[in-house]
Amino acid sequence: MSDRIKGLFPRSRRVRIGLAIGVVLLAAAALGGYLYERHRTGSIYHPHARFVPQPTPSLPKRGPDRFAWPLYGYDKDHTRFLPASTRVHPPFVRVWVHNEHALLEFPPVIYGDHIFQLADDGMLIAINKHNGRTYWSHSLGVLSASTPAVTAKTVYATVLSTGKSGIPGRVFAIDYKTGRTRWWRDLPSPSESSPLLDGNRLVFGTQSGIVYALNARDGKVLWTYQAGGAVKASPTLSDGVLYFGDYSGHVQAVSEQTGRRLWLNSSEGALLGSGTFYSTAAVVYGRVFLGNTDGRVYAYDASSGRLDWAVQTGSYVYASPAVTNAPGLGPTIYLGSYSGTFYALNARSGQISWQFNAHGRISGSPTIIGRTVYFADLGDRRTYGLGISTGRVTFNFDSGKFAGVISDGQDIFLTGTSGLYRLAPG
């Protein structure tokens, strides 16, 4: 403060003036930060970005006992869409329930008449699809949060904790029929990445940011890739390229054959850095769709990594998107926000087609079976089914926190809080 001002005002008043100026400066800084943050985390639209139309998949022509839902998200591009026949729709009747004594956070997989579910306590269970009885169970550790991958002979699973000192994580190959261990590999950090299986290549991420590609026959390392943060999502495969986000707020494209990075982009969605990507990407229409903890849903160009659009939901988006070509709407992605709102977004523009307020907290990922999209609400512990074109409630079940449903094209299998339910069209 200048000598002239000091002479005009006594010391006590100068202190008050200094404090007032400080308060004004702090308020201005806070306002500037708010506006900056709002700008960075608001919605972004690039209406002329590249968009590649693709035909809607058809239901595999296999009998129910030869059907496979072999991976988290159903297929390798993780669209989470099964084009089931029109008869697979609500209302449903309960056929059986298989109860566990642990939280079921992730959905199971199906191969033939076997369902494989990995509970949060590290127990892998093989369940008879027809009657809900247990074929076998195998303890893989003490903590897990992922979906297995399965073939006709082997089940692959990752765990967060083995419960053994010095072995934080592990990946297993388990015999389909007997539950015996074929091979296992210790990991230097925990893994909650649902493994992706493509031929003889098994790919998954870890909390140290290392992404592994292993030989699925013997567990030998083919290559590794170091991301900037933890990779908790399941890598997504499309046209020989793997896509995934990480906890440094980056999305990357990596060659499936070599592990070489093809492009890298960030979310730039937080005041002091990017938000984190927990969401598993869906890759379709030449784009990479996934959610972020900064509250936005992102669409990147699959070939270049350029941001096509980003839509703000108001709270964390842990969920992985489900995608299909909806009658009357066209290409649409579906996912929920921790705000409790479930969205249908135009895949081309990002504009909201409809939204549904579940009045809870949506953390888990949705699945589309035929013309119904299903999701669980963590807040009220229920599972909902909505018409994909209208957003109207067609199904409401009094169990579920995260995982939602899968299907064999005949019935649906709903993962409740601690029980797996087989529901048949009524």
pLDDT in tens, the chain (426 residues): 544 444 545 555 555 555 555 555 555 444 444 433 444 567 887 877 888 888 777 766 666 567 899 999 999 999 999 998 889 999 999 999 999 788 899 999 999 999 999 999 999 999 999 999 999 999 999 999 999 999 999 999 999 999 888 888 999 999 999 999 999 999 999 999 999 999 999 999 999 999 999 999 999 999 999 999 999 999 999 999 999 999 999 999 999 999 999 999 987 654 444 689 999 999 999 999 999 999 999 999 999 999 999 999 999 999 999 999 999 999 999 999 999 999 999 999 999 999 999 999 999 999 999 999 999 999 889 999 999 999 999 999 999 889 889 999 999 999 998 899 999 998
d(CA 393, CA 255): 41
d(CA 345, CA 332): 6
pTM of the model: 0.88
d(CA 347, CA 362): 20
Q: What share of the chain is helix, strand, coil (3-state, %, to 5)?
A: 10, 40, 50
d(CA 186, CA 170): 4
Give the number of other Cβ atoms within 10 Å of residue 55's Cβ. Answer: 6
Are 78 and 234 spatial neighbours (Cβ–Cβ below 8 Å)? yes
d(CA 258, CA 417): 39
d(CA 383, CA 39): 34
Sheet with 68-69: list strands edge to edge.
Answer: 68-69, 109-111, 114-118, 123-128, 134-139
**Residue 330 forms beta bridges with which residues?**
326
- 385: tokens are 């089914």
Residue type, 106: F
- Which of 426, 424, 421 is closest to 96 using CA atoms? 421
